[in-house]
Amino acid sequence: GGMDVGNLFKLLLARGKLHCTGATTLSEYRKYIETAAALEQRFAQVLVNEPSVPETISILRGIREKCVVHHGVRILDGALISAATLAHCYLTSRRLPDAAIDLVDEACA
- pTM (2 d.p.): 0.75
* Structural domains in the chain plus CATH codes: 5-40 (no CATH), 53-108 (1.10.8.60)
- Residues in CB range of 26: below 8 A, 6 or more apart: 47
Nearest-angstrom CA–CA distance, 20 and 104: 31
**How confident is the prediction along the chain (109 residues), in pLDDT tens digits per residue?**
677 888 888 889 889 999 999 899 889 999 988 898 888 888 889 999 999 999 999 999 999 999 999 999 999 999 999 999 999 999 999 999 999 999 999 999 9
Q: What Cα–Cα distance (Å) separates residue 109 from each residue in 4, 7, 28, 58, 59?
A: 43, 44, 33, 21, 19
